[in-house]
Structure 1
């Protein structure tokens, strides 16, 4: 597939890396030589120096021949104009990063489709929704809703006192036969394991468990963790993601959140205080330990650090953990920091580049793909695939299928009912199947559903 990415910043680079690894024909357009040099030195892509709003430069990047044009510069207006021009030049699908809420408002006088934009993505908003989901599962490092929210995938970090240490997965399942679940992936000291029943669990393994949503609380207890109610939240950083998270929590009428938000810019803090009456907005440096202690960080159930300084996010979360805050979440952009952050004790990390990649991947793969989600900290992806009538996957039970190495079928949804997959499970036409696999197995397993 021919893909043109406009913008070689953090998100553009990450997308180019992922898509070129999957053997797509990727071109990256940017006006900054330094950003393009980084792309050309480390990735198998075609770098083009040029202006995203110049028809001449877009033609030079062969935008008119693109199957997908992805415009992810840091400026909404540039993304809109380049997307509009790209569609006029002949790009088959246009995906644009637009952070302004005005265009997603149902009463907006102009919509993305009016500009030729097929898909509008908002990585910061996606990441804020992920954090809100994590706050509802105090013990989990990852929470992914699947099969129309009927199933969940949760990530759990096993502590040294977990009753699962030293047990293999067959023993784990046998001891809790009243529950139906499946351990579909394990992160262990930087390695990603798609496990079988004989593998033994070890200290500090990051295990990913798939189960029906109603069973998740009981399954968390089997790992030695306890689900506790989180009510008081402190958010460090009020611009973009922090403010979005506060709005999402305020709109959640299922519980009464108590929220403190710290914003360093006085005008912005005043604006947020006027807008969100339910939130205590504080003006100050959100990475200042003295301020955090003075404002009662030790009395919080959860501490969320989403400033632009990721090192400060990690350090302030570690301090919160030291003060026995139950749940800490840090915004981190460097991929190398993600496994490190969880190793040193943070409960969860959020990466807006991953959020953008997850949104875009569904449109890149299209066809039978319902959703694609990259798991943070390990090299595995969760894919929801729809079985085409007569496809290979529908011909025989799972145990007789020749699934590629590094791939496991976790569950499926058929006519509204969900179930965890076992060897005898037979996938039927139009079933939605949840699969966990390493990146190099994705194309092979997708073909079984076509």
Structure 2
């Protein structure tokens, strides 16, 4: 495909990095340093305004996909609208716009085809939804749903005192509709076997039927037995939307926001939430507000460095689980290395959506985990798929991938060697990046 990316910041750069080897990629940005960074990849770089019609007219010839991911919502929207007017063959041309202002979008991903935007993505809302999913689950650091909610993925961190340390995976006695799809141990990614033993600090990915995942959650930590105490540091778009979601659940919630006017706005819109005007790095304030008694502390200000500091202070003062927002991709692993339980990045939602558009027909969902070390991909099997009509044991499946779940006519199953995938089945695959191309060929 020919793909034009407007904006070479963190989001744009990582989209280009993920796609440039298999596609013809053009990157447009006004900033010299961003262009120089993008130029390190094997892509064409144009320095200029991505909403400029003359620049777009030059770049869009034979283009299949335009991705507008600058830091300005209006530039992204205008670029998509203008591109739709410029490109003649609209049947195969798609546009994606990243937006952050909730005035433009009220859910993580939306369609705005009437104004020329095929996919509108709000990374901040996606991030808030993801964090809300894992708040009340002990030791959970990631959550995702597939096949319209029929399949659930949870990623758990195994603490030192967990009763599972030292056990073999086959001793977990999981329900037949749940499976351990991966182990992340230090920098290693393991496609697991029953004899693999769980070690302290392992991250374990479990995929299964949502009804059965409740028992899995209980394996990785005791139930709180009361309303969970949650503190959110930062009342921006992510913090506010997260608080809005959490306030509907069974939580005792506090928000700390440094800006006085913003604090008043949040308090007016969320009357059942305690909003405090103060600095999240103020140790005395955190102590006074009982940060050591919190089940979860989430730092989601607009500063990565401040989020890290807030999270580490909260952890040091006794917070049970700390989550920190990290906009810079190279900070994610660093945050977790120094003691943050989970570092979450809003850019990943945009990257995942673009990857789905570029990976061809039959792909419903793409989710990257552990900082892009691996992906969970949901395919719909077609009658032409090489994987259809024969037992799985007879298919040469790549060693770096595993079929975790199949949804067949509404029924969710963990497929064994004799299972035969049929046309129309929804197939959830865990795969290392090195195995993706080979897996994709099986579903073509």
Same fold, judged at TM 0.5 (above): yes
1:386 has 2:369 as partner: no
Structure 2 counterpart SS, 1:148 = helix
**Counterpart position of 1:5:** 5
**Counterpart position of 2:420:** 426
Q: Deviation at 1:27? A: 0.9
Alignment of 1:222-301 (within 5 A): 222-223=219-220, 225-228=221-224, 231-250=228-247, 252=248, 255-301=249-295
1:398 has 2:396 as partner: no
**CA distance in structure 1 between the partners assigned to 2:51 and 2:323 by the alignment:** 37
Q: Deviation at 1:386? A: 0.4
**Counterpart position of 1:59:** 57
Alignment of 1:50-449 (within 5 A): 50-60=48-58, 62-90=59-87, 92-104=93-105, 112-169=112-169, 171-172=170-171, 176=173, 180-223=177-220, 225-228=221-224, 231-250=228-247, 252=248, 255-377=249-371, 379-449=373-443
Structure 1 unaligned blocks of 5 or more: none
Structure 1 pair 78–135 and aligned structure 2 pair: CA distance change class (3 A)? same
Preserved CA contact (<8 Å) 1:155 1:207: yes
**CA distance in structure 2 between the partners assigned to 1:359 and 1:326 by the alignment:** 32
Q: Deviation at 1:96? A: 0.5
Structure 1 pair 230–188 and aligned structure 2 pair: CA distance change class (3 A)? farther
**CA distance in structure 2 between the partners assigned to 1:301 and 1:207 by the alignment:** 21
Aligned pairs, number: 436
Q: Normalized against structure 2, the TM-score is what?
A: 0.92
Structure 1 pair 256–410 and aligned structure 2 pair: CA distance change class (3 A)? closer
**CA distance in structure 2 between the partners assigned to 1:377 and 1:103 by the alignment:** 29
Preserved CA contact (<8 Å) 1:6 1:29: yes
Q: Deviation at 1:373? A: 0.4
Q: Deviation at 1:179? A: 5.1
Residues 219-273 of structure 1 show CA distances to partners (whole Å, capped at 9, x for unaligned) of 23445x22435532211111111111112223x3xx3433221221222222222
Residues 184-212 of structure 1 show CA distances to partners (whole Å, capped at 9, x for unaligned) of 11211112222344444333221111122
Preserved CA contact (<8 Å) 1:103 1:112: no
**CA distance in structure 1 between the partners assigned to 2:146 and 2:188 by the alignment:** 25
Structure 1 counterpart SS, 2:208 = strand
**CA distance in structure 2 between the partners assigned to 1:24 and 1:427 by the alignment:** 30
**CA distance in structure 2 between the partners assigned to 1:322 and 1:194 by the alignment:** 34
**Counterpart position of 1:44:** 42
Structure 1 pair 311–101 and aligned structure 2 pair: CA distance change class (3 A)? closer
Preserved CA contact (<8 Å) 1:139 1:226: no
**CA distance in structure 2 between the partners assigned to 1:368 and 1:168 by the alignment:** 35
Residues 255-296 of structure 1 show CA distances to partners (whole Å, capped at 9, x for unaligned) of 343322122122222222222212222222222222222222
Preserved CA contact (<8 Å) 1:260 1:280: yes
Preserved CA contact (<8 Å) 1:191 1:378: no
Structure 2 unaligned blocks of 5 or more: none
Q: Deviation at 1:75? A: 0.9
Q: Normalized against structure 1, the TM-score is what?
A: 0.91
Preserved CA contact (<8 Å) 2:181 2:430: yes
Q: Deviation at 1:369? A: 0.3
- Aligned-CA RMSD value: 2.2
Q: Deviation at 1:89? A: 1.5
Q: Deviation at 1:411? A: 0.6
Structure 2 counterpart SS, 1:183 = strand
